[in-house]
C-alpha cells in the first residue's frame, strides 16, 4: 500500500527524496519522471526571469503580455509536476501486461495497449515543451537583460527535456506491433526534430552568442 501511495506523489517529494529514488534499483521514477522534472525546471527558470522583469520601467509596455506569459508558465510547471506521477502510474499496467503468461492469447494485445498508454505521458511532455518555445522567444526579447542567462538556461533545459521526451516516446513506438499507432508517434517526433527543435536551437544560439 505504501509503495502504491508513493507511486502517486513523486511530484510532491523533495529533490533529495526524488533523486534518491531515481538512483535506486526501482522502475519508477525513471527517465519519464526525470523528463517531467526538466520541464518543470525549464518553465520555472523562465518564470523567474519574467518576475524579475515585471515592474521595470522598460517592461511597462509589455505588462499585459508578461501577465499572460506568467499564467502560461505557471500552468506549464503544474502540468509537468503532474506528469511526473502520470508517467509513474503508466508503468504499472505495462509491467502487469508483460507478466501475463506467454501462452495467454490476450498477452500481445494487453502489452500493445499498455505500451501505447505508456507513451502518452512523455507525448504530453513533448507537446507542453513545444508550447513553451514561443514564451522563451518572447522573454528573450522583452525580458530584463540581466536575466538573459536564466532564460538561456531554461531554454537549454527545455531542449534536454524535449530530447528525453522524444527518446521515451520512440522506445514505446518501437515496441508497438500496431504499426498505425507506432507511425503516428514517430511522425510526431520527426516533426518536432525538424521544426520545433531547430527553432529552439536558433533561440539558444541567439541567447548564448555574444553580441
pLDDT at 1: 35
Indicate if the pLDDT at residue 2 is higher than 50. no
Number of continuous H segments (helices) and E segments (strands) in the chain:
8, 0
**Residue 170 contacts residue 114 (beta carbons within 8 Å):** no
Confidence class for position 10, pLDDT limits 50, 70, 90: confident
Residues in CB range of 144: below 8 A, 6 or more apart = 49, 52, 53, 56, 58, 59
CATH of 2-208, one of 1.10.287.3510, 1.20.120.680, 3.40.50.300, 3.30.930.10: 1.20.120.680
Reported as a single tens digit per residue, the pLDDT across 136-179 is 999 999 999 999 999 999 999 999 999 999 999 999 999 999 99
Torsion angle (degrees, nearest 10) of CA 55, 60, 63, 64: 150
pLDDT band at 8 (very low <50, low <70, confident <90, very high): low
- Alpha helices in the chain, H assignment, sequence order: 2-7, 15-23, 31-53, 63-98, 107-142, 148-175, 179-191, 197-208
Q: pLDDT value at position 11?
A: 82
pLDDT at 211: 60
Amino acid at each position: 500500500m505504501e509503495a502504491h501511495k508513493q507511486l502517486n506523489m513523486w511530484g510532491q517529494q523533495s529533490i533529495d527524496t526524488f533523486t534518491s529514488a531515481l538512483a535506486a534499483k526501482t522502475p519508477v521514477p525513471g527517465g519519464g519522471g526525470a523528463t517531467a522534472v526538466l520541464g518543470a525546471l525549464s518553465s520555472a527558470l523562465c518564470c523567474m526571469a519574467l518576475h524579475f522583469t515585471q515592474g521595470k520601467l522598460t517592461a511597462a509596455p509589455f505588462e499585459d503580455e508578461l501577465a499572460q506569459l506568467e499564467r502560461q508558465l505557471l500552468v506549464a510547471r503544474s502540468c509537468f509536476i503532474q506528469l511526473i506521477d502520470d508517467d509513474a502510474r503508466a508503468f504499472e499496467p505495462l509491467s502487469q501486461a508483460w507478466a501475463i503468461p506467454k501462452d495467454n492469447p490476450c498477452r500481445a494485445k494487453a502489452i500493445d495497449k499498455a505500451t501505447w498508454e505508456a507513451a502518452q505521458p512523455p507525448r504530453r511532455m513533448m507537446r507542453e515543451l513545444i508550447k513553451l518555445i514561443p514564451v522563451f522567444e518572447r522573454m528573450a526579447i522583452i525580458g530584463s537583460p540581466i536575466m538573459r542567462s536564466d532564460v538561456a538556461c531554461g531554454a537549454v533545459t527545455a531542449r534536454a527535456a524535449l530530447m528525453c521526451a522524444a527518446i521515451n516516446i520512440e522506445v514505446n513506438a518501437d515496441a508497438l506491433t500496431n504499426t498505425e499507432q507506432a507511425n503516428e508517434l514517430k511522425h510526431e517526433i520527426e516533426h518536432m526534430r525538424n521544426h520545433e527543435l531547430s527553432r529552439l536551437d536558433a533561440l539558444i544560439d541567439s541567447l548564448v552568442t555574444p553580441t
